[in-house]
């Protein structure tokens, strides 16, 4: 039996919990039992007593009516009372840097950790090293997995890890790693001469919830840069965010705009800028895409707006999808993976794939 | 320590053995030790005594100078003397149906099995069921894995398995699953009005070793059909090869040609047939591709020549590559994987990925 504790039941965490509960209910899965034992959000926490295994089927109501205030140290102690750390996985579904900084302590205790939170793997490399050290030093060899940090449920990191371990040489990884920026540029730069203005597309995307509340958090490219750093580090490069050339496509004049409304109101002033980039690409028979590039042969790492010929897989990508290409010694024609790279269900699937792996190894 | 015995050191087996030996030599991998302990071909066999762990570094010469004649029962007994079955994986690198029929007996003994051999998984479903039963009944829960049977080293079956286990609903799987047929049709039907004749392309492919010695073994589609059956069965469908609509593109008049030379000599008589198919596709702005389709919503399974618009991922595929698309509840825009799906190194990588998984679970 693998016990699972979920930290941060937001949209992704909720989809994950449903996946776990459905999995546990199915008789097909009795060979590889997985059990949800605890949930905590930032205000309350709920650790199921072992005596009532089905108590969490109605976890939302239970958490609501729970009176124990959230306390991460206490949460971890209660979980330890429930079962041994090496048969338990802590799933961090937040994007919180403080929680990420707890991973070394959790791993030292023997807990396995699975997370879609990019912070631990793309911030200062000292945290990355501490995490690896903590996992290595613990005698039960706890697992730390984060498939959903890049490409959500697409099998990206598992594939990259297998390539590296099997002795392949990773030459280059390129990809469109943001669902939002994929949508914006697939809509804006679709190979026709005229179309909607960039600001209009951002407006529609924001209205439909395809962007962060402040679209500058997408357009800055920082989230894509973090993913590129994770890919580079898993390929063996010791890189920091500051080693990466990041093209922030928020117009410089709007970076300091104090409100989102001001930013959105003024964005149309820069439509001609984006139009001329699009026009230049169009004249070459190309389209614009916002792309991460991790070149291990030259140790160059970038996240930037580039143009691609229409026959290129990045050009014909479905709007909103992610795509990743690995060029390696084995795959000189790149191994390419594409599909939805954002959304709560596919992200939950990426997390659940990791949980399944932990269950197989630790049961 | 996971012990590995390789059966059938042909091109793929040899590439795999090199991968294993390189892996074992690297100090990075001491956490997850894997050791080659035995090799057999159809005439000789070599089981390394535990006392000489490095003996197989020069396995080719050792096998050559070995005097023990091959005997599968004896091979298995010698391996059992070397170490426990549950810490051992038998890797069948043949495409032999008789060896495939031994998997249930191996699994009953507790051996793990990894193979690129499609026979056991695409022949009579009774063998498939026997294999699952044998693995389930053995108390050590041996693993049987065959990632390389579809798409060689592409992460196809691992992804499909995770989708199924996590509760996703597989609606449709479509793909170009033969490197040879990918090459033939990418070259023949590339969206231009005129080009080389089909028979010329087959001739060149044959001369370069891209086809089987008898190209009819590719053009019959049987190999693709076997892969489609594997995908269907892993998606939960109980199907036999006979349930699949298979379009054999060898012209009927040439199926009984008694020699390969006669077949190749007469193939140009049918160029006009292939040309007119290509022309019809061209007039719709499409290209021809030989595609497997597994539709779980209608329980329809086919392998056939179809045409696709130029913007479709199947149309812009790199010549010779494989591509697979999974349309599911989670991935309504399909999850798509593409890249080399044939070749000894990528096939060996697919096998090695499975071996790594066995090592992680069984160590």
Q: Is the pLDDT of residue B212 over 80?
A: yes
d(CA B234, CA B168): 13
Would the pLDDT of A194 be above 80?
A: no
| E strand map for B58-201 | 88-92, 112-114, 144-145, 170-176
Q: Name, in order, each residue with C-beta under 8 angstroms of A21's C-beta and a sequence gap of 6 or more.
A: A36, A56, A57, A59
- How far apart are alpha carbons A275 and A273 in whole angstroms? 5
Closest CA to A231 of A337, A324, A348: A324
User: Model confidence over A58-114: pLDDT tens digits?
Assistant: 899 988 888 789 999 999 999 999 899 999 999 999 999 999 999 999 999 999 999
Distance of CA A157 to the CA centre of its chain: 11
pLDDT for res A192: 82
pLDDT band at B51 (very low <50, low <70, confident <90, very high): low
| Cβ-based neighbours of A208, under 8 Å, separated by 6 or more | none
Do residues B135 and B279 share a domain? no
* Alpha-carbon span A301 to B123, nearest angstrom: 48
pLDDT category at A54 given cuts 50, 70, 90 is: low
What is the arithmetic mean of pLDDT over B14-39?
94
CATH number for the domain including B10? 3.40.50.720
Catalytic machinery residues of A: 227
Angle of the A344-362 helix axis to the B157-165 helix axis, nearest 10: 100
A59 within domain boundaries: yes
Q: Same domain for A144 and A38?
A: yes
B residues 217..276 contacting A (CB < 8 A): none
Judge whether B132 is annotated as a binding position: no
Chain B residues within an 8 Å CB radius of A321: 333
**Are B287 and B315 in contact, with CB atoms under 8 Å apart?**
yes
- For the segment A218-225, the average pLDDT, to the nearest whole number, is 98
Q: A107 and A219 share a domain?
A: no
- Detail the residues of A annotated as belonging to a binding site for NADPH: 94, 118
- The per-residue pLDDT for B1 is 93
Size of interface A-B (CB pairs under 8 A): 118
Same domain, yes or no: B11 and B124: yes
Whether residues B261 and B322 share a domain: the answer is yes
Smallest Cα–Cα separation from A118: which of A143, A142, A92? A92
Reported as a single tens digit per residue, the pLDDT across A201-219 is 999 999 999 999 999 999 9
Chain A residues whose CB is inside 8 A of the B335 CB are 153-154, 337-340
Confidence band for B53, pLDDT divided at 50, 70 and 90: low
CB B120, CB B143: distance < 8 Å: no
Nearest neighbour of B153 by CB, restricted to A158, A330, A336: A330
Q: Is residue A300 part of a domain?
A: yes
**Residue A28 above 90 pLDDT?**
no
Span A151-164, mean pLDDT? 98
Q: Are residues A234 and A292 in the same domain?
A: yes
- The residue segments making up the domain with residue A182 are 165-341
**Contacts for B129 with CB less than 8 Å, ≥ 6 apart:** none
| B108: closest CA of chain A, how far (Å) | 17
Is residue B146 a contact partner of residue B127, using CB atoms and an 8 Å limit?
Answer: no
pLDDT of B111 over the 70 cut: yes
Residue in A22, A168, A331 nearest the CB of B339: A331
- Give exposure, B214-242, as e/b (b: 16+ Cβ within 10 Å): bbbebbbbbbbbbbbbbbbbbbebebbbe
In a domain, residue B353? The reply is: yes
Same-domain status, A218 and A128:
no
Do A200 and A291 lie in one domain? The reply is yes
For residue A313, what are its two tokens?
């897989």
Q: Is A160 part of any domain?
A: no
A247 within domain boundaries = yes
Query: Is there a domain that residue B160 lies in?
Result: no
**What is d(CA A169, CA B125) in angstroms, rounded to the nearest whole number?**
39
* Mean pLDDT of the A123-137 span: 96
Rounded mean pLDDT, A343-352: 97
H helix or E strand, kind and range, residue A300: strand A300-309
Distance from C-alpha of A177 to C-alpha of A291, rounded to nearest angstrom: 7
Please indicate, yes or no, if residue A195 is contained in any of the structural domains. Answer: yes
What pLDDT score was predicted for residue B103? 98
Q: Inform me whether the pLDDT recorded for A53 exceeds 80.
A: no
Select from B166, B144, B160 the least CA-distant residue to A26: B166
**Residue B50's pLDDT is what?**
67
Does residue B191 have a pLDDT over 90? no
Which among A136, A155, A173 is the top mutation candidate for probing chain B, defined by the most B β-carbons within 10 Å of its own β-carbon? A155
B350: annotated binding-site residue?
A: no
What pLDDT shows up at residue B342? 92
Are A162 and B168 inside 8 Å of each other by CB? no
At residue B193 the predicted structure's pLDDT band, cuts being 50, 70 and 90, is confident
d(CA A202, CA A205): 5
Distances in Å between the alpha carbon of A54 and those of A21, A36, A49, A330, B144? 9, 9, 10, 48, 33
Percentage of chain A with pLDDT > 70? 98
Do A79 and A215 share a structural domain?
A: no
Tokens 């960039």 belong to A198
In a domain, A158, yes or no: no
Under the banding of pLDDT at 50, 70 and 90, the label for residue B148 is: very high
Q: Mean pLDDT over all residues of chain B?
A: 95
The CATH number of the domain holding residue B321 is: 3.30.360.10
pLDDT at A311 (0 to 100): 86
* B48 vs B219, residue with greater confidence: B219
Radius of gyration of chain B (CA): 22
Q: What is the pLDDT of residue A191?
A: 83
Structure tokens at B268: 């140009």
Average pLDDT over residues B218-229: 98
**In A8-64, where do the E strands start and end?**
34-40, 45-47
Q: Which residue of B has its CA nearest to A328?
A: B346
Tens digit of each residue's pLDDT (9 = 90 or more) over A32-52:
999 999 999 999 999 987 666
Least confident of A65-74, A116-125, A175-184: A65-74
B9 marked among binding-site residues: yes
Give mean pLDDT, residues B319-328: 97
**pLDDT category, B320, cuts 50, 70, 90?**
very high
pLDDT at A50: 67
Instruction: Give yes or no: residues B102 and B244 share one domain.
Output: no
Instruction: Please tell me whether residues B196 and B226 are part of one structural domain.
Output: yes
Q: Do A349 and B321 touch (CB under 8 A)?
A: no
Total structural domains in chain B?
A: 2
A135 and A171 inside one domain: no
What's the half-sphere exposure (Cβ side, CA atoms, 13 Å) at A308? 21
Residue A177 has pLDDT above 70, yes or no: yes
């Amino acid at each position: 039996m693998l016990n699972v504790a979920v930290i941060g039941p937001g949209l992704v965490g909720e989809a994950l919990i449903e996946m776990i509960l459905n999995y546990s209910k199915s008789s097909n899965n009795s060979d590889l039992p997985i059990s949800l034992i605890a949930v905590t959000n930032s205000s309350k926490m709920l650790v199921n007593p072992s005596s009532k295994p089905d108590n969490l089927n109605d976890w939302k109501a239970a958490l609501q009516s729970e009176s124990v205030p959230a306390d991460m140290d206490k949460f971890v102690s209660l979980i330890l009372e429930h079962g041994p750390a090496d048969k338990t996985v802590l799933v961090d579904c937040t994007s919180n840097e403080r929680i990420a900084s707890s991973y070394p302590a959790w791993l030292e205790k023997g807990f396995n950790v699975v997370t879609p939170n990019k912070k631990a793997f793309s911030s200062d490399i000292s945290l990355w090293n501490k995490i690896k050290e903590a996992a290595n030093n613990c005698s039960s060899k706890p697992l730390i997995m984060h498939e959903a940090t890049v490409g959500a449920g697409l099998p990206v990191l598992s594939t990259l890890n297998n390539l590296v371990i099997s002795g392949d040489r990773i030459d280059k990884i390129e990809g469109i790693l943001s669902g939002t920026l994929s949508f914006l540029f697939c809509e804006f730069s679709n190979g026709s001469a005229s179309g909607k203005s960039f600001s209009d597309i951002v407006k529609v995307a924001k209205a439909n919830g395809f962007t962060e509340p402040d679209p500058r958090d997408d357009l800055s490219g920082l989230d894509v840069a973090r993913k590129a750093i994770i890919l580079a580090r898993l390929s063996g490069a010791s890189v920091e965010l500051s080693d990466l050339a990041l093209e922030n496509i928020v117009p410089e004049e709007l970076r300091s705009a104090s409100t989102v409304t001001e930013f959105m109101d003024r964005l149309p002033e820069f439509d001609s800028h984006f139009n001329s980039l699009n026009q230049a690409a169009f004249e070459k028979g190309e389209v614009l895409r916002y792309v991460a590039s991790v070149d291990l042969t030259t140790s160059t790492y970038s996240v930037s707006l580039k143009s691609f010929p229409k026959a290129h897989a990045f050009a014909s990508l479905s709007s909103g999808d992610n795509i990743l290409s690995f060029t390696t010694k084995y795959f000189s024609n790149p191994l390419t993976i594409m599909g939805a790279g954002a959304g709560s269900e596919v992200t939950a699937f990426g997390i659940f794939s990791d949980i399944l792996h932990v269950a197989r190894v630790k049961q």
